[in-house]
Amino acid sequence: MAKKKLEGLKNLSEKEMNQKIVDNRKALFEAKIKLATGQLENTAMIWKLRKEIARVKTFLTQKTSK
């Protein structure tokens, strides 16, 4: 399953990757707010969102350096 997700990221255009970063950052911000107010049930979501942002940024860097 992980390879399919990575393949999906590799096939995105730069514009789509940038949009995915923006969306994930927004979700991360909302999750942090919920954590601070005690409403977040799944605290692992913060870790997952941070890693997803890093993955997309890595692929974006690789795509722009070629």
| pLDDT of the residue at 7 | 76
- Tell me: pLDDT of 65 over 70: yes
6 in a domain, yes or no? no
3 in a domain, yes or no? no
4 in a domain, yes or no? no
- Tell me: pLDDT of 3 over 70: no
Structural domain for 20, as ranges: 13-61
Number of structural domains the chain divides into: 1
- Condensed to tens digits (0 to 9), the pLDDT of residues 36-64 reads 999 999 999 999 999 999 999 999 998 88
Q: In whole angstroms, give the CA distance from residue 65 to residue 46.
A: 29
40 in a domain, yes or no? yes
The pLDDT mean for the chain works out to 90
- Tell me: pLDDT of 1 over 60: no
